[in-house]
Structure 1
Amino acid sequence: MGDGLNIKEQFDIAVIGCGPAGLSAAINGTIRKKKVGIFGTDFCSPKLHHAPHIDNYLGLHNMTGEELRKRFLDHVKAMGLGIIENKITGVYPEEGGFMLQSRDTFYKASAVILATGVSAVKPINQELDYLGRGVSYCATCDGPLYKGKKVIVLAYNREGLEEANFLAEIASEVLLVSQIKEKEAQGITLDEKIKVIQGKPVGITGDMWATGVALEGQNLTADGVFIIRDSVLPDQLVPGLNVSNTGIVVDRSGATNIPGVFAAGDCTGAPYQLSKATGEGQVAALSAVKYLDELKNKAGDTKKELAAI
C-alpha cells in the first residue's frame, strides 16, 4: 500500500488521541525506548480542562482539571514528545504494521494504540449504511471520483469548510450544510461555486447508492456526500475492529481483536475515570512494547533458521 504514497514518518507505536490515556501510553512507550508518535488535536483533553476540581487522583489532590492537564503536557514535553495535529481518518494493516492516513499524508507504525476518548459522534440515519457507497469522510481521498459532479458537504468543523473549498476545484457544484458557529469559521473564504444551505442533517437518502441528504424540512440531491467531523467512529477508523455498544472490546492487556492494535481509556467503556484512563494507557503501551519485541525476536529466529539451511 505504501508505493507512491506521501509517507511523512514511521513510528514503532502510533498513539491516536492525546487525552490522559494517550499521553500515558506515549510516555510509557517512550520510556521503553520505542519511537512514539502522538496524533491529537490542537487542544488536548478538553474534558479534563473543564473539570473544576479533582480530588481522586492519587498524590495530586485538590487540583483543577486544567492544572493537571498542563502537568500531563509538561511531562510529555519533558520526554521530548510533541503532538502531531493531523486527524487520522483511517488505519489500515499492511505487511510489517499499519498505514495511518491523514487526508493526503500517510504515516507508518508497527503498532497502534487507540485512545480516542468517548465519541460524541452520532451518525445520522443511514450514514453507515452508505459509507463507501456515496458517503465519504475524506474529500482529499475520494474527491477525484466526483470530478464534474454535484456533491454535498456536511461540515461539523473548520476542516469541513476547507474540504468544501477543495471539492469546489473538482466538482461542478458543492452544497455546503454547515453545523459550526460563525466565529469558528472566521478567516475562511468560501469558493464562489459553493452554495450554503441552512438546516440540520437528519439522514442520508438513496437506493443502492447515496443520492442526497435529508434535512429538517427539505431534501438535497447530489452524486456524493462528504461528512467532515472532529472524530471518526472507532470501527470506521480501523476497519474490522470489534466494538460493542459500550466501547472498543479489549482484553486485560488492552489488546483488540486486531493483532498490533491496542486501546485504552474512555473509548474502551465505563467507568470514565482519570486514573482508569492513565492506567489503561500504561498497560496498552507495555503490551504494545511486548508485542513489538516478540515480533523482533520471531524475525530473528526466522533469520537464524534460514541461515542454517
Structure 2
Amino acid sequence: MGEKYDIAIIGSGPAGLSAAINAKIRNKKIIVFGNKNFSNKLIKAPKINNYLGFYNITGVELKEKFEQHIKSMNIDIKYEKVNNVYAMGEYFTLMMKNETYDAKKVILATGMEFTKPLRGEEEFLGRGVGYCATCDAPLYRNKVVTIIGHNKEAEEEANFVGEVASKVYYVPMYKSEYNINKNIEIVKDMPVEINGKMKVQTLILKDKKIDTDGVFILKDSVAPNQLVPGLEIEDGHIKVNRKMETNIPGCYACGDCTGKPYQYMKAVGEGQVSALNAVNKLDNKM
C-alpha cells in the first residue's frame, strides 16, 4: 500500500492544473496524473484570444506559462494512466498498471474523449473487453487476444500480452513504424463491432472478422463512467452540481468532461471550484 493523499487529480489540462494549484495553496497533499504535454488539445491551439490577460498567444506558449506556474509551486505530474477508481467509503483507490494510490477526494479533469465506443464495447465490458492489457493478461493465458491501439504506448502492452496468449492481433489506429514482436499479427483495418453471446467471441472489422477471446481497447484516456464505476453521465458528460460534485460523494469533476463550452477559462474556473469544495470538505472532515 502506497502513500495516502488528500486529493488525487486525474488530468493535467487547464482544469486539472487549476485544481492542483488551488489545493496546493491550501496545503493539501496532492497527486496529479497527466501527460508531458499537459493537454494535447492545448498544444495544438494555433491562437488563443479569449483567455483573460493572455491574448494573441499560442497553445504552446500558454502551456509554457502553466509549466512555469506549477514548477514554482513544486507540483509534479505523474505520467501514469489511471485505469480504475474505486470508492472505498472514506477514501478512493486509484488503480494503475503496476501500483495503487489512495486519496480522500478525487477530482476528474479528464477532458473529452471524442472517440465513440465501438458497438458492443460497453455491453461486453468485463466479459472480454478491457482497457488495461497488462493488468488482465494472466486471464488470457493460451487464448486469443486482439488489441486495438490508439497510441505508441499500446505496443508495449501488446508485446507483454504476446508472451502469455496463444495468439495476439494488433490493430493500430495510428500510422507509424510499429515496434511489435514477430509473433504478433498486425491488422491494418478499421474496427466496427464486438460480438459474442455470454462473452466476446469476434471482432468485426471493415474488411474482415477476427475470432478472439478478448479485446483490449487502449486509448490515451478511459471514458469517465468506465474509469469510475457508478458515475452518473448526462448527455455524454459527467453530471455535476454547482460545487462540481458528482453523484459519488468525494468525487468531483471539472473542465471539458462536464460539458460545453469547451473553453480554457471555463475549465480553469471549474478546476478552482472543485478544489476549493474538496478542501472545504476535508477541513470539515466530511
Q: CA deviation at 1:225?
A: 1.4
Q: CA deviation at 1:54?
A: 2.1
> Counterpart of 1:281?
271
How many Å separate the matches in 1 of 2:270 and 2:203? 39
How many Å separate the matches in 2 of 1:140 and 1:22? 27
Candidates 221, 226, 238, aligned match of 2:216? 226
Q: Does 1:263 align with 2:253?
A: yes
Please give the secondary structure, in 2, of the residue aligned with 1:151: strand
Q: CA deviation at 1:10?
A: 2.7
Gaps of 5+ in 2: none
How many Å separate the matches in 1 of 2:56 and 2:187? 48
Report % sequence identity: 49
8 A Cα contact 1:149 1:172, kept in partner = yes
Q: Does 1:41 align with 2:35?
A: yes
Q: How does 1:236-247 map to 2 (within 5 A)?
A: 236-247=226-237
Q: CA deviation at 1:234?
A: 0.4
Q: Deviations over 1:75-134 (max 9, x none)?
A: 011110111000111101114311111112211111100001111231111110000011
Q: CA deviation at 1:246?
A: 4.1
Q: 1:115 to 1:181 in 2, by over 3 A?
A: same
How many Å separate the matches in 1 of 2:128 and 2:43? 38
Candidates 62, 76, 82, aligned match of 2:76? 82
How many Å separate the matches in 2 of 1:196 and 1:51? 33
Q: How does 1:143-162 map to 2 (within 5 A)?
A: 143-162=137-156
Provide the alpha-carbon RMSD of the alignment: 1.4
Q: How does 1:167-182 map to 2 (within 5 A)?
A: 167-182=161-176
Gaps of 5+ in 1: 1-6, 299-309
How many Å separate the matches in 2 of 1:287 and 1:36? 15
Q: 1:70 to 1:102 in 2, by over 3 A?
A: same
Q: Which runs of 4+ in 1 moved over 6 A?
A: none
Please give the secondary structure, in 1, of the residue aligned with 2:117: coil
Aligned amino acid, residue 82 of structure 2: I
Q: Does 1:129 align with 2:127?
A: no
When normalised by structure 2's length, the TM-score is 0.96
How many Å separate the matches in 2 of 1:92 and 1:70? 33
**Which structure would you say has the larger Rg?**
1
8 A Cα contact 2:37 2:43, kept in partner = no
Aligned amino acid, residue 232 of structure 1: V
